[in-house]
Each structure stands twice: as structure tokens, then as C-alpha cells.
Amino acid sequence: MMDMTKPAPAHLAPSELAYVPFVSVHNMMRLVNAMGAETFMAELAAYIEADFKRWPEFDKSPRVASHVPGGVIELMPTADAELYGFKYVNGHPKNTKTGHQTVTAFGVLSEVSNGYPVLLTEMTLLTALRTAATSALVAKYLAPKGAEVMAMIGNGAQCEFQALGFRALTGITRLRLYDIDPKATEKARRNLEGQGFQITACKSGQEAVEGAQVITTCTADKQYATILTDNMVGAGQHINAIGGDCPGKTELHRDILSRAEIFVEYPEQTRIEGEIQQLAKDHPVTELWQVMRGEAPGRIDDKQLTLFDSVGFAIEDFSALRFLRDKVAGTDYAEPLDMLADPDDPRDLFGMVTRARG
Amino acid sequence: MMDMTKPAPAHLAPSELAYVPFVSVHNMMRLVNAMGAETFMAELAAYIEADFKRWPEFDKSPRVASHVPGGVIELMPTADAELYGFKYVNGHPKNTKTGHQTVTAFGVLSEVSNGYPVLLTEMTLLTALRTAATSALVAKYLAPKGAEVMAMIGNGAQCEFQALGFRALTGITRLRLYDIDPKATEKARRNLEGQGFQITACKSGQEAVEGAQVITTCTADKQYATILTDNMVGAGQHINAIGGDCPGKTELHRDILSRAEIFVEYPEQTRIEGEIQQLAKDHPVTELWQVMRGEAPGRIDDKQLTLFDSVGFAIEDFSALRFLRDKVAGTDYAEPLDMLADPDDPRDLFGMVTRARG
């Protein structure tokens, strides 16, 4: 580890404008533990819901993806009239082999009026939390009434967040876990034990979906896979499909898609990255923001098979950044980072440097 | 100013993988002052030149610009086979009215193989340095031999960096300064005094260009302007046009463009943002990387009027990030930032959070 920098002498200390509040991983964990993950996700979901309900106000575009050897690095920007946010996120499926995270992320929120960043934060944890909060929020609109049982196929890094998010927002209390690697299931069970769930570890996907009103698929292989086949899914279920989120990576058999009512975040992106990349470009889908605004139907009867084809959209990160900024303002969860040059005279950048010689 | 965060207890301290080296504004100033701005820019220019010479190896795309009320916020990514870099930069012409910088920037360099960031740095200063280093590098190829006199029209934040960069790389020793605001000229003169330049403050652009072999235009108005008219420019000069860098913002009269030999960084971007947005889409231009590789002619005689239509391209920022990473490695110019979640088991992100409760 490197030495910490020497602080600036007081008379040369940067002005207030130079500092960007920074939320480290350590402080994100402190905040989650202080609030409790369920409360954190319930509050975060309220921000996401509020932003979905004003969807047309956002400047939207598909993420900017750089496909590099071994994975992808993406920048996901969006803005409303007051704030601009973006997330940097990588996806490298083979990273776990070297002890690295498959996905790491950080993000920035800025003032539109002057372009100055107002928050820099780790987003590996925050992305896990916003993904689960979004899934649970969507299920609030789509899952059958009184759903208590969720099958979770894929018990990796996202699993526990999904379980707690669903309990906080929809009342799920029974979990049926399955992963191709029993150690992943064991890890999830251990983490969720003693938190009031009734947990069943299953030996197959088929076993996991038995009696489940909600099915969450969250596997990580970067390839076309068939985690759910058509015979495994029945009427009246809600599928929360998280793992298929880039071209060539899907989890559901095509036949399921053909008979499900499909709900998406941003069709332009989902048709490229989601489960529906397997379907015709004009296959009908419903946009979730319209459901939340009451402008399109969500679940209309108990027999429907609903599918949230989740890929993750920039507005959810924007909501998360906005939530976090409000939450950490004036607290010690944020530390000031000397990231912006702020000369006394904006035209005198050079003079600021030479005067720093002291 | 907020309180600094409480550090993590030792047994819960993040691993090496969690840290991203961060170069603050304070440390960037320390480094520039320790090296001297001229040495800094000369070394940086060598990185830029090396990257221009391997131009086809880069993944290139025009920057991702979000046009927001009052300005623009841009993300500029690029990558080679080993490293990925991007810069966040805003441009808000009216910011100076509220004591903010027109342009602020920061950037990140990452490993392509695993997507992990390896450097986060302020880039307001670094952008000023790379812009001047690029201008001076290009002038090394295009300015008339033995050029000693540079006219500088526009004496804002970029002015002194240009002057020192040109001296370091091309031997410019005499400066003729003009700005619509005499206070800007006074500021530049004061900052450059005692550094061995012969400086003349001029009362007009016309006066400034007299006897100059190189003309640098660097004004900031976001509009079509005519800083140089056709009669002000003669044979055998080199124009370094910095200020026109977005749609609707130009500095040179069209007639100058018609008779100049025009050199650009990345035509796809320059045709949108540069001086040549005033010309037909197929007006011939020469790409600088080809000049540097010896595959296209630069200046071919003493009578030519050459123009560098500079808009700034992502590869220059990439070179600057690469240079800085090498320069600060193992020094205290970089401080470790706890930005990446790094659980012992990559699939156990949730367990990392709960264990942090202690």
C-alpha cells in the first residue's frame, strides 16, 4: 500500500469548490449496516420508483460499451434538468479465477448547471443494492398477490440482496435456493440464516421452482444458457430474470418468452442485451415506467405469466446516486476529495500551480 | 468541509485490490512544480507522440456528449489492447461568472484484462498540460523552421501552458499577447515574467500577429467568432487553433481554412467540433498520426500556411493517464482510495458487508 499524501499547508488549502464528497467501500458498508440492507433498499426503491414515474424527463441513451479482451467496460450516463450521473462498470466473467470481482463499479453525480461533480462513490455494492431494489420494486407491480415463495436460481453475489429486497418490498419469506455449485448455495444460506427466512436448498432448478410464485434467475455465464425450460414455468408466476444482460448472454428458453407478458426498463437497450434478444425486434413488450404511472397494465390476472427482463439501466444508477447524495449529506459517510482545480481566478490556472510552490 | 471518514479497523481493512491510486489537485501541482512545467510537458509529449504513432491500435469513437442547459458534459473513452481510459470533462462558458472553472475534468485508467481501475486523477490541470503538449508536439512537425515568435490571441487558462510547451518542444522565445480583456493579458504576462521570454502585450489581434511564425488562438466564447480574418494571416505561418472545439464554436474566418493545409487529430470528431465544421464534409484534411509515422507530409515548404485544427481527442488523455501512472507509481503523489469492493470470495459480496459490522 502506498503512503498517504502529505496534506496541503493551510494557507494553500483548496477552497470548498475543489472538494467532491467521496463514499468509499468502507463507508458504504457502514451505511448499509447502520440502516440495515432492507431499509436501505426500501428507501432506494422509492427513489427509483419516483424516477421511473418521471421517465420522459430523462436524457436517455444505450450505454457506451467497450468490448475488450476478457470482458466489457461500460459507461452509463443519464441526466435530468438538474443532475447528470454516470456509472463506470466492468463485466469480466473470468475474474473470479484470479480473486477479482466479475463486476466492479463506481459512479459520479454532477450539477447540470455548472458541470461540477457533487458525489463520487463506489458502486459495486451500490449496484448490487439498486439491482435488487429494482427487481423487488418491479415485483411489487407484477408478482401475484400474496406471493411468499421465491425460487432463486444462481446463488452468487446478487442472491442475498435479492432475497432481502423482495422481503422488504413484497413480503417474500420462503426461499428455494439452487446453484450449479453447491458451495454458492451454502454461502447464501449461511448469510441469510437467522434472518427469519424459511430456506430450502435444492438439488436442481426443477426442484427449486416447485411451489414458487416468484422465480429469480441470476447466473453469470457469458453465453446462451437455458436456466429455465418451458416445462418448469407455470401460469401465475412472475419471473425476475437478472442474469441475461449482454449480447449472447441469456438464461431463459425462447418458448417461455413467447407466452410471457414481458416487461422491460428501456426497450432500445433490452432488445440488444436482454432475454428478448432471442425474439423478433418488434415483439411486444411493456415499459415499466408506464406501468408505474398507471398508463399501461401490469399483472391483470392470477393466471398470467409475467417476466421482468432486467438488464439494468442508467436511470436506476442515477436514482441510487441521488439517494446516496441525500443520505450522506452532512455526515461522515462521505469524505472530501481534492479532485477539482479551483483557482481564485478561473482564468489563472497556471498561477494557482506556481503559487502552490509556496 | 466534511469530517474525514473513520478508518477501517485493521482486521477489516480492505485488501490491496480494493485500492485505486488517486492523484489529487494538490499532488498534481506538487508533481508539476517538482518536475517543472516544461519538463512535464516534454515528457508527456513523448507519450502522446508514441501513442499517435500506434494510432490504428486504438479503439476510437467520438466523445459521448450530453448537452445540458448552460454547457456540455462529456465522457471520452478509448482503449488499446492493455489499457482503457476515459475522461469526464464539462464545458460551461458562463461558469466564470460564479467563480467556477469553465472546464473541470477527471479521468480513470483501467486494466483491460480485468476491468479494474489502476488510476483516478484530477484532469483539469492535466488536460491543460496535455492540450499544450499536443499543440507543441504538432508544431514540431508543422511550424516553420527556426520559429521564435508566437502570437497568442486569448490569454485565459490555457495561455501559459501553451507558451511553456512551445518553448520546451519548438524553441519559441518571443510572445505577442492579445486578449479582448486586458486583465487576462496582464495575468499571463505576470505569470510568464522572469522565465526568459520576451513578451509584448498587444492592443489588437492584428498587432499580435505581426512578425509571428506561429499563431495560437485560444478564446472561450461559445459561438461562431472570427478571431483571425483572412488578411491577418500570411504565407509561411502555422496556426494552432485551440478554442474552436464544439458545434457552433469556431475562431477562424472560412477564407483562411480554404487556403490552409489542415491537420487534424480524428476527422470524424473534428468535422463536427472543429474549425472545419464550416467546410464541406469532404474537404481534404491530413491526420496527424500519419504525419508522425512519416506516411503523410507535414510542412513541405516555407511558404505553406499550416493549420492545426485542435479539438482534443481521447487518445491524448489516454497518453496523459499512462504518463501519469508511470510517473506516480511507488511515490506519494498518489494516495490509495478505497473504491473497489473486494470480498475474500468474489461471490460473497453480501458476507463482506455483514462481516464489516465487526
CATH number at residue A80: 3.30.1780.10
β-bridge pairing B64-68 and B71-79:
antiparallel
Interface of A with B in 173-232 (CB under 8 A): 184, 187, 190-191
Q: Is the domain of A208 the same as that of A257? A: yes
Question: Which helix (H) or strand (E) covers residue B294, if one does?
Answer: none
Note the pLDDT of residue B5: 44
Q: Do the domain assignments include residue A2?
A: no
pLDDT for residue A4: 39
Hey, how many other C-beta atoms are within 10 angstroms of the C-beta on B341?
30
Whether residues B50 and B194 share a domain: the answer is no
Give the closest residue to A2 by CA, choosing from B4, B106, B18, B2. Answer: B18
B207/B192 Cα distance (integer angstroms): 20
* Percentage of residues of chain B with pLDDT beyond 90: 76
Residues B345 and B239 in one domain: no
Domain check: are A206 and A115 in the same one? no
Residues B113 and B167 reside in one and the same domain: no
Rounded to a whole number of angstroms, the distance between the first and last alpha carbons of chain B is 29
* Cα–Cα distance measured from residue B358 to residue B348, given in angstroms and rounded to the nearest whole number: 16
Instruction: Answer yes or no: do A222 and A117 share one domain.
Output: no
Under 8 Å between Cβ of A42 and A134:
no
Rounded to 5 degrees, what angle do the CA atoms A179, A244, A174 make?
A: 45
Any long-range contacts for B59-62 (C-beta under 8 Å, 24+ apart)?
A: B59/A66, B59/A68, B60/B266, B60/B314, B60/B315, B61/A64, B62/B266, B62/B268, B62/B269, B62/B272
Cβ contact, residue pair A79, B66, below 8 Å: yes
Q: Which residues pair with B90 in a beta bridge?
A: B73
Active site positions of A, annotated: 245
The mean of the pLDDT values for chain B is 91
Indicate yes or no: CB of A88 within 8 angstroms of CB of B117: yes
CA distance A34 to chain B (A): 9
The answer to whether B212 and B149 have CB atoms below 8 angstroms apart is yes
Which pLDDT belongs to residue A13?
59
Provide the shortest C-alpha distance from residue B33 to chain A (in Å): 6
Please check whether residue B125 is in contact with residue B25, taking contact to mean a CB–CB distance below 8 angstroms: yes
Say yes or no: A69 contacts chain B, CB-CB below 8 A: yes
Q: What sign results for the dihedral spanned by CA atoms A262, A263, A269, A273?
A: negative
Inter-chain contact B157–A14, Cβ cutoff 8 Å? Answer: no
DSSP label at residue A294: T
Phi, then psi, of A286 in degrees rounded to 5: -110, 135
DSSP string, A126-141: HHHHHHHHHHHHHHHH
What crossing angle do the helices spanning B159-170 and B37-52 adopt, rounded to 10°? Answer: 70
The residues of B carrying an active-site annotation are 245
Q: To the nearest whole angstrom, how far is the Cα of B208 from the nearest Cα of chain A?
A: 20
Q: CA quadruple B235, B240, B241, B245: dihedral positive or negative?
A: positive
Looking at the fold, whether B308 and B319 belong to one and the same domain comes out as no
Q: Tens of pLDDT along B338-354?
A: 999 988 888 899 999 99
Type of residue at A29: M
| B27 in contact with chain A, both atoms CB, cutoff 8 A | yes
Domain ranges, residue A33: 19-125+315-355
Interface list for B 131-170 with A (CB within 8 A): 155-157, 159-161
Dihedrals phi, psi of A304, to nearest 5 degrees: -65, 145
Which of A141, A138, A181, A142 is closest to A159 using CA atoms? Answer: A181
Residues A225 and A291 placed together within one structural domain of the fold: yes
Q: E strands, chain A, where?
A: 19-23, 64-68, 71-79, 83-91, 105-111, 117-122, 149-153, 174-178, 198-201, 214-217, 224-228, 238-241, 250-252, 261-264, 286-287, 306-309, 335-338
Chain A residues within an 8 Å CB radius of B191: 348, 350-351, 354
Contact criterion met (CB below 8 Å) for A332 and B6? yes
- Crossing angle of helices B37-52 and B124-142, in 10° steps, is 70
pLDDT at B2: 34
ipTM of the complex: 0.90
Give me the pLDDT at residue A181, please: 94
Cell of residue B276, nine digits: 472545419
In this structure, the answer to whether residues A323 and A303 fall within a common structural domain is no
Q: Chain A contact for B114, CB < 8 A?
A: yes
Which of A 264-283 lie inside 8 A of B, CB atoms?
A: none
Domains of chain A: total: 2
Same domain, B297 and B320: no
Q: Print pLDDT tens along chain B (358 aa).
A: 333 344 444 445 567 788 999 999 999 999 999 999 999 999 999 999 999 999 999 998 767 888 888 899 999 999 999 999 999 999 898 888 888 888 899 999 999 999 999 999 999 999 999 999 999 999 999 999 999 999 999 999 999 999 999 999 999 999 999 999 999 999 999 999 999 999 999 999 999 999 999 999 998 665 667 888 888 998 999 999 998 666 777 889 899 999 999 999 999 989 988 999 999 999 999 999 999 999 999 999 999 999 999 999 999 999 999 999 999 999 999 999 999 998 888 889 999 999 998 7
Domain membership of residue A3 (yes or no) is: no
Task: Give the sign of the dihedral formed by CA A93, CA A129, CA A162, CA B342.
Answer: positive
C-alpha–C-alpha distance, residues B95 and B72, integer Å: 12
* Pure H helices in B115-251: 124-142, 159-170, 182-192, 205-209
Is A29 inside any structural domain? yes
The domain that contains B285 carries what CATH number? Answer: 3.40.50.720
**Would you give the end-to-end CA distance of chain A in angstroms?**
29
* Amino acid in position B33: N
- A34 touches B at CB < 8 Å: no
Angle at the Cα of A271 (from A267 to A276), degrees rounded to 5?
110
Nearest to A89 by CA among A59, A118, A130: A130
In a domain, A109, yes or no: yes
- Chain A: give the shortest CA distance to residue B298, in Å: 31
Q: Choosing among A24, A84, A87, which should be mutated to test the B contact, i.e. which has the most B CBs within 10 A? A: A24
Query: Would you state the pLDDT for residue A347?
Result: 87
- Cα-flanking dihedrals φ and ψ of residue B80, to 5°? -110, -165
Q: Could you tell me if residue B12 is inside a domain?
A: no
User: Are B75 and A84 a contacting pair at CB < 8 A?
Assistant: no
B228's enclosing H/E stretch is strand B224-228
Q: How far is A234 from chain B (nearest CA, A)?
A: 30
Give the residue from B297, B227, B236, B310 showing the smallest Cα distance to B269: B310
* Torsional class of A206: left (φ above 0), alpha (ψ -120 to 50), beta (otherwise): alpha
B55 lies in some domain? yes
pLDDT beneath 70: ranges in chain A: 1-14, 62, 220-224, 244-246
The C-alpha atoms of residue B81 and residue B56 are separated, in whole angstroms, by: 11
d(C-alpha B257, C-alpha B237), whole Å: 13
Is B241 among the domain residues?
Answer: yes
Picking from B126, B118, B108, the residue whose alpha carbon sits closest to that of residue B18 is: B118
Query: Are residues A291 and A278 located together in one domain of the fold?
Result: yes
B2 located within any domain: no
Give pLDDT, residue A70: 86
Q: Give dist(CA B341, CA B23) in Å, integer.
A: 20
Give the number of A-B residue pairs with CB atoms closer than 8 Å: 313
Q: Are residues B70 and B193 in the same domain?
A: no
Q: Quick one: pLDDT at residue A224?
A: 67
**CB-based contact (8 Å) between A115 and chain B?**
yes
